[in-house]
Structure 1
Amino acid sequence: MSERKVPGIDEYDGAAGGWGALAAVARAVKGQMAVGRETAALRRVNQPTGFDCPGCAWPDPQHTSSFEFCENGAKAVSWEATGKRATPDFFARHTLAELWEWSDHALEDEGRLTHPMAYDADADRYMPIGWDEAFARIGAALRALPHPDMAEFYTSGRTSNEAAFLYQLMVREYGTNNFPDCSNMCHEATSVGLPASIGVGKGTVTLDDFALCDALFSFGHNPGTNHPRMLSTLREVSKRGVPIVAVNPLRERGLERFTSPQHPGEMLTNTATPIAQTYYQVKIGGDLALLKGMMKWLLEADAADLAAGGAGVLDHAFIAEHTEGLDALRDDLARTSWDDVVAQSGLSRDDIAAAGRLYARAERVILCYGMGMTQHRRGTQNVQQMANLLLLRGNIGKPGAGIAPIRGHSNVQGDRTVGITEKPTQALVDAIRQRYGFAFPLTHGHDAVDAVRAIRDGRSRALVCMGGNLAVAMPDPDTTIPAMRNLDLAVHIATKLNRSHLIPARQAFLLPCLGRTERDVQASGLQSVTVEDSMSMVHASQGGLPPASEHLLSEPAIVAGIAKATLPQTKVDWDGLVGDYDRIRDDIEAVFPIFRDFNRRVREPGGFRLYIGASERDWGAAGKARFLVAPGLGEDPASEGDALLTLTTVRSHDQYNTTIYGFDDRYRGVSGRRDVVFLNRDDMVARGLQSGDRIEVESRVGDAVRRLSGFIAVEYDLPRGSAAMYYPEGNRLVPLDSHDPHSGTPAYKSIPVVVSKLDDPAVHAS
């Protein structure tokens, strides 16, 4: 295959971090044209009296650091603290039809929303509206629905505990449990899979455990782009000589080597710390096969050691005291052939044995994983097999060991803890009745996929979104977007404009809220909110910047305004709660006793950790942890001789979820474009492709034909039979019904596709 220079595609030879990260921070701040405002904000990120970074959910190692933020955190802060404004004059100049032609980057780059706005269908524009009128019209529309279950209430992970608690309280008093949530699209497989395994749907480790582990396995995530502060922790683990094993289809620079901007020695000498000692490039969808292969090796090694008079490889004492179900797992693994494990995983038997051997030698193992494990049709089973692997050697519930799901948004886990769930428990029904004097149904509501189905079918007529960009985040936009255009009511509580706001219902409202960087002053004075990170630490967040507009309200105030207008006979003292967020926290504690002594403990530096039973080997109501069987070997990655490839969607380095900061993906050597499909070299040769060729990608899921044309092929280091393209562009290839049946998580990362060259082979720049 001849070499061809493709515009915007080049090799990146550097480490993650380093001067490139600092330069990107400088560009982000400069690009938003509010240097004084943004640098003031950056000085308060993750500080004891400052605000929690609106980026990822990685915990803070300390609350006294002068530089406790990363490149993508700085981008998130500058994006929110920008000096740019999307005022009523901006909306007067542009119809929604015109704005629909803008890129997602351009929409958000217009700046902060400044006034509440209502859609005028005749003009096809958003027009300014007063808060009281907006609340009154929204309340009237919600009351006019024939049944509360005809409304959907979406929550983004950036929502604080206080706002999320009030939101779920309002919705439950309204009478529904329809809570589509961003968790449904990322770690729902964790929330569903882990409780059945270990009794709790959260990770079991703390940041301190990383200083004690003697092996670390990293499955299906890319810390260099999605949670860069984790690199500092991985660097310290590597510096201790602890083996780090990366399992990921793509070679990601952040898992290979890292130059820490916080360490002058590395910066001045341009040196880097190696991260992963071993890197296994598993086929897309082959993780379950690898996990079962490692466990099969462990059981065989255990039997051999016991037969030779040894103590065995497994932790038999732990298994006997704390677990059940091993016999069924043992039988399943005995029936699993090594040939199938090798074919499905894409790894050799020797590689799998080496991974098992390294795991068996370590006494304290942490297993981290991300959406590369959850966003599959068998994501829940992936999660449970990772738990199985840890349980075999007692690596849950002891210092330096455990399972660590790496969450995305900074409070996506906290929202769930304070009640954002479509599956309420009897305990929640009883606690709300006791605290507020009203009951709500125990029936399950809609998750994200169910919500879109209900909107598509006309069973839901209203959508209220607490942040987020739901239409873009969801799969199958050819179904999702037309369905949302038929709604009677759409309400978006947001800081900036995005594409979901351009899908007008018969009535549509944009309600601008305070950002996390800004001062929130209520009747009792300056307020703090709280967030929960991915390791169950809860701490306070208090913005210090003046609001971007005098017309902004806080999220709790907006929820209260909608609630009072919708529920004229409400039993909740909304004004009292919004006037003093301590009262909200008192109510959270009353409804969720896990927040014992909430207001006192959250005022301690660093906050406090919620009780996680599995961390203490308390397995909940089941009494024991459970080994769970996953029949078969998971997804079926395309074989080398098959025309099908298995495609995964990935985030670029210049984005966070659906927010596109720019068009560069530095660590993958992409600049100025997003129209790329990463392909294995041999797969390209087999299809007569060269880098830069224009291609068509057609998904082979279900009956409907889904195609994306005009993208370019780019050679990349990933396994034969695997391919990758950016999210959300690749969402068009994922049918709404292609999801994990246990968790409802869309299968963004295992899409069977056919790739073919278009007639025009010319190299195109975006």
Structure 2
Amino acid sequence: MAETKFVGKRSAAAGGWGALKSCGKQLLGSGAALSGAKTLLKANQPDGFDCPGCAWGDPEHGSSFEFCENGVKAVAWEATAKRTEPDFFGRYTVSELRNWTDYALEHEGRLTQPMRYDAASDRYYPVEWEDAFAEIGAVLRSLDNPNRAEFYTSGRASNEAAFLYQMFVRLYGTNNFPDCSNMCHEASGVGLTQAVGVGKGTVLLEDFEKADAIFVIGQNPGTNHPRMLGDLRRASERGAQIVVLNPVKERGLERFSDPQRKVEMLHGGSGAIATHYFQPRLGGDMAAVRGIAKLVFARDDAAVAAGQPSLLDHDFITTHTADLDAYRAAVDATDWDHILDQSGLTRDEIEQMADVYLAADKVICTWAMGVTQHRHSVATIREITSLMLLRGNLGKPGAGLCPVRGHSNVQGDRTVGINEKAPPALIDALERELGVPIPRQPGHNVLGAIGAMMDGSAQAFIGLGGNFARATPDSALIADALSSLKLTVHVATKLNHCHLVPGETSFILPCLGRTEIDRNSKGVSQIVTVEDSMSMVHGSGGINRPASPWLRSEVKIVAGIAAATVGSSVVDWATLSDDNDLIRDMISRVLPGFHDYNTRVRKPRGFHLRNSAANREWNTPSGKANFSTASLPEATEHQQTRKADGQFVLQTFRSHDQYNTTIYGMDDRYRGIYGKRTIVFMHPDDIASIGAKAGDIMDVVGEHDDGVSRVAKGFSLVAYDIPRGCVAGYYPELNCLVPLSTFGSESYTPASKSVIVSFRHQKELAAA
């Protein structure tokens, strides 16, 4: 019988009373309602902590309530009164815990003591910190080559912990730095570096107050970075055009009710976000932008022929760019049939976008993983940048490029050195600082690390935060790979599935959270720092009592492992880790832009890292901003599946009660889903085309031709407003269908938005 009770009414608008009710539910559910509420008043404040949620920028004026529903969930999740004590591990074997959901595991609360896995009993047992460090160091030293170890970093790590981590790993002798950025915005870094010489966005938060038009491509801020909705709504209210390209109709991009507007909340009001909303097919964004550029060139030709001023910014183009002629040739060579078929948009829709772009003097283009997780993502970002260059929309107020990162410090980790392809200047600076040679050979990114684990060349994995086993594609293969290692070490605040695939020797090392006080040996409270998507570096000092007296900071844990592995003759790890100011002093000597680090980060709102592209300085081989010369893909996955009966293209995304692999709850109220996560969103006509109806439970079958069998069992079909041939569902549940063999060209990011699948009733699959 079809199951439909989990489908309900979508929220009328993002935010509003629904957000406040959800916040209250999260605080009450954490068991720390009063303390959590008090904690929130210090979020994103000069004397408080940086929100452990998303990387959206904080306003310069520093609102007393600059947090959002996501921030409340993140704080409640971390500041929970629940604890995962050693006796919990005495009650359950690791094999039993593998059957628990992600939500159930993390709902048990904060880890309290370092734990070591015992294979004989299949349980974790408490271990002393120094014993854990000594054993980890002994295993790492026993490896015949440092390149046999993989050192993963989550974007939750602070600048100080990440800097110490990369310094330790390079002293150990490798550049193996698989990083969470490899799975999200790597394409942004690669594409922007090629185009403008810096792999970061070029805008500040105040630029959103000045833009005439904002293009929002492949992102869902209502769920992923809700504070952005306030900036978009204010821009819309003052007359800026907000153009959205997203295959799925997302409530947060349609309407927003700001919980901080008292009168609006009283009357149940809301305001529009998007002035234009278009739904391209999955993978069709590059074609859509190419269509806009084609119209811009055509209209410019017509204007010049009529004796009118050119529509292009020729002064900017001549002074600051290269390869315009080659880009124009690529655009001219792209026919409209290809553009329309690949984008899934009509000519009229692309004309509307071109109208907005040409009418605006100042344009911001912002994007997220809907752009970055395709095979041709780097080319798409180059295309977006090229469109912006045509009218000089870089390096002026109210205009620029804005990739929106996820985790609160994923950008900062890369800035301070978490990079498997370290810039020569960084290695040079480290060698000057430390007085010893540093390895220069590129190391492994995420896919490289997975490949090394699978072929046996990697023998150790250390994870500084994150949930590697669930965040990566081909989940079953990753679990097998991790469990085959000699050593697995996880620095974490809560239990997750990655901890349940232990290697021969395995440790869980519990760390302090962002909201907790970190005192050094002199009793002085320490601060750490993070960098947001606008390159603002903020201080963050916890205010809560630690969840357990056994917890150590990430900095202390990294230093402990480092001292036990490489010794303290080059770096005095104990002294350095006892005073974060000393780490920041070292960063200021090694990295450009961090001068007077300790002074500037203690000022309200922190400081801005200078962006060369925002100042129209182009650190590229040509010395200029480079137009793209790429052609559109010959065929996207969506175009390929139309040749095969019953195949579709799947994108994985978050629910509203989720942040990355962390599941806060089972609802997704903006999409009208309650109490269930094993679902697939699908166009009603597509549901009918496979002989099914909404609510039917199907198995989702991976159809990539690489010899690997992939099946996600028991997923309910939900009729939704999404283009024909495109389907969507939640990760990490559907990561088992994302193939390691399909990834972004040049970025090596898993193509999680371009997964080819089919659907079968379970009895049909068994018969096959």
TM-score by length of structure 1 reads 0.97
- Superimposed CA distance per residue, residues 556-583 of structure 1 (whole angstroms, 9 cap, x where no aligned partner): 1111100110013540011221121111
- Superimposed CA distance per residue, residues 39-84 of structure 1 (whole angstroms, 9 cap, x where no aligned partner): 2211211111000000000011146422111111100000000000
In structure 2, C-alpha distance between the alignment counterparts of 1:291 and 1:689, rounded to whole Å? 35
Give, in angstroms, the shift of residue 586 of structure 1: 0.6
Pick from 472, 495, 505: which aligns with 1:474? 472
In structure 1, C-alpha distance between the alignment counterparts of 2:478 and 2:643, rounded to whole Å? 35
- Superimposed CA distance per residue, residues 134-187 of structure 1 (whole angstroms, 9 cap, x where no aligned partner): 000000000000000000000000100000000000000000000000000000
1:579 aligned residue: 578
1:192 aligned residue: 190
In structure 1, C-alpha distance between the alignment counterparts of 2:446 and 2:466, rounded to whole Å? 12
8 Å Cα contact 1:15-1:253 kept in structure 2: yes
8 Å Cα contact 1:259-1:273 kept in structure 2: yes
8 Å Cα contact 1:32-1:83 kept in structure 2: yes
Q: 5 Å matches for 1:371-390?
A: 371-390=369-388
8 Å Cα contact 1:286-1:636 kept in structure 2: no
Give, in angstroms, the shift of residue 259 of structure 1: 0.4
2:758 matched to 1:754? yes
In structure 2, C-alpha distance between the alignment counterparts of 1:641 and 1:144, rounded to whole Å? 53
Q: 5 Å matches for 1:129-528?
A: 129-524=127-522, 525-528=524-527
8 Å Cα contact 2:488-2:502 kept in structure 1: yes
- Superimposed CA distance per residue, residues 453-494 of structure 1 (whole angstroms, 9 cap, x where no aligned partner): 100100000000000000100000121111111000000001
Give, in angstroms, the shift of residue 266 of structure 1: 1.1
Task: Give the aligned residue type for 1:536.
Answer: S
2:562 matched to 1:588? no
8 Å Cα contact 1:640-1:720 kept in structure 2: no
Give, in angstroms, the shift of residue 635 of structure 1: 2.2
In structure 2, C-alpha distance between the alignment counterparts of 1:641 and 1:738, rounded to whole Å? 19
In structure 1, C-alpha distance between the alignment counterparts of 2:611 and 2:567, rounded to whole Å? 39
8 Å Cα contact 1:585-1:598 kept in structure 2: yes
In structure 2, C-alpha distance between the alignment counterparts of 1:194 and 1:545, rounded to whole Å? 39
- Superimposed CA distance per residue, residues 577-605 of structure 1 (whole angstroms, 9 cap, x where no aligned partner): 11211110010011102212111111111
In structure 2, C-alpha distance between the alignment counterparts of 1:568 and 1:268, rounded to whole Å? 62
2:717 matched to 1:713? yes
8 Å Cα contact 1:199-1:625 kept in structure 2: yes
In structure 2, C-alpha distance between the alignment counterparts of 1:640 and 1:117, rounded to whole Å? 51
8 Å Cα contact 2:637-2:754 kept in structure 1: no
2:632 matched to 1:632? yes
2:728 matched to 1:724? yes
- Superimposed CA distance per residue, residues 197-228 of structure 1 (whole angstroms, 9 cap, x where no aligned partner): 00100000000100100001000000000000
In structure 1, C-alpha distance between the alignment counterparts of 2:534 and 2:286, rounded to whole Å? 24
In structure 2, C-alpha distance between the alignment counterparts of 1:228 and 1:726, rounded to whole Å? 19
Give, in angstroms, the shift of residue 759 of structure 1: 4.8
8 Å Cα contact 1:85-1:113 kept in structure 2: yes
1:557 aligned residue: 556
2:85 matched to 1:81? no
SS of the residue 2:734 aligns to = helix
- Return 5+ residue gaps in structure 1 as ranges: 762-766
In structure 1, C-alpha distance between the alignment counterparts of 2:375 and 2:624, rounded to whole Å? 27
Give, in angstroms, the shift of residue 758 of structure 1: 4.3
1:740 aligned residue: 744
8 Å Cα contact 2:6-2:675 kept in structure 1: yes
SS of the residue 2:758 aligns to = strand
In structure 2, C-alpha distance between the alignment counterparts of 1:488 and 1:419, rounded to whole Å? 27
In structure 2, C-alpha distance between the alignment counterparts of 1:754 and 1:179, rounded to whole Å? 35
2:123 aligned residue: 125
Task: Give the aligned residue type for 1:69.
Answer: F
Task: Give the aligned residue type for 1:740.
Answer: G
In structure 1, C-alpha distance between the alignment counterparts of 2:74 and 2:187, rounded to whole Å? 27
Aligned-pair identity (%) = 52
2:29 aligned residue: 31
In structure 1, C-alpha distance between the alignment counterparts of 2:258 and 2:63, rounded to whole Å? 15
Give, in angstroms, the shift of residue 641 of structure 1: 7.0
Q: Which moved more, 1:33-42 or 1:288-297?
A: 33-42
In structure 1, C-alpha distance between the alignment counterparts of 2:642 and 2:96, rounded to whole Å? 45
Give, in angstroms, the shift of residue 696 of structure 1: 2.3
In structure 1, C-alpha distance between the alignment counterparts of 2:486 and 2:578, rounded to whole Å? 32
Q: 5 Å matches for 1:53-64?
A: 53-62=51-60, 64=62
- Superimposed CA distance per residue, residues 329-367 of structure 1 (whole angstroms, 9 cap, x where no aligned partner): 111111111011111111011111111111011000000
Give, in angstroms, the shift of residue 316 of structure 1: 1.4
CA RMSD of aligned residues (A): 1.4
2:648 matched to 1:645? yes
1:693 aligned residue: 696
Q: Which moved more, 1:596-605 or 1:71-80?
A: 596-605
SS of the residue 1:595 aligns to = coil
SS of the residue 2:452 aligns to = helix
SS of the residue 1:481 aligns to = helix
2:672 matched to 1:669? yes
Q: Which moved more, 1:567-576 or 1:50-59?
A: 567-576
Task: Give the aligned residue type for 2:168.
Answer: M
In structure 1, C-alpha distance between the alignment counterparts of 2:441 and 2:306, rounded to whole Å? 55
- Superimposed CA distance per residue, residues 295-342 of structure 1 (whole angstroms, 9 cap, x where no aligned partner): 111111111111111122211111111000111111111111101111
In structure 1, C-alpha distance between the alignment counterparts of 2:65 and 2:617, rounded to whole Å? 37
**Aligned CA distance change for structure 1 residues 135 and 536 (closer, same or farther; 3 Å):** same
Task: Give the aligned residue type for 2:699.
Answer: E
**Aligned CA distance change for structure 1 residues 140 and 759 (closer, same or farther; 3 Å):** closer
Aligned pairs, number: 759
In structure 2, C-alpha distance between the alignment counterparts of 1:388 and 1:425, rounded to whole Å? 25
Task: Give the aligned residue type for 2:734.
Answer: G
